[in-house]
Each structure stands twice: as C-alpha cells, then as structure tokens.
Amino acid sequence: MGIGRWLIALGVLLILLGLVWLYAPRLLAWFGHLPGDIRIEREGFRFYFPFTSTLLLSLTLSLVFNLLARWFREP
C-alpha cells in the first residue's frame, strides 16, 4: 500500500504543477533566468546551462520528498 500512496502524491503534485504552468505561467517565468545560469550566445552557436535553477530544483525536490516520506511513513 505504500507505493500506491507515493504514486497518488506524485500525481497530485504533477497536476498542481501543470495547472500552475498552464494558468499562471508568469509565476514560473523566472525559472531558468537566475543569476548563475550559464548562457553563451554567439553567431551560429548557443549554449545554455541552468546551473542555479538546477540546484534550486534539486533542493526543492529533496525537501518535498523528505516531507512526503515523513508524512507517509508507516507507524
């Protein structure tokens, strides 16, 4: 039964993220344009690596999954 709870929680989280992305795209417009994101643009060449955004996403997902693990932990 534990995996079922995880899948439901992940589905709800994805639905909420999709709704925010669909109906309020300005809330996430800053993502990918943070200081520390590497962007090199030259004629005929474009390189983009969202370093800071990736770190922020990793920290946020770690926090969310740790909170979910504590919440769904079976006694």
Q: What is the mean pLDDT of residues 8-32?
A: 84
State the pLDDT at residue 46.
Answer: 92
Nearest to 51 by CA among 39, 38, 67: 38
pLDDT-based confidence at 17, cuts 50/70/90? Answer: confident
Q: Does the pTM of the predicted model rise above 0.75?
A: no
Q: Which two tokens stand for residue 39?
A: 């962007």
State the pLDDT at residue 67.
Answer: 84
Distances (CA, A) of 7 to 1, 14, 33, 35: 10, 10, 31, 34
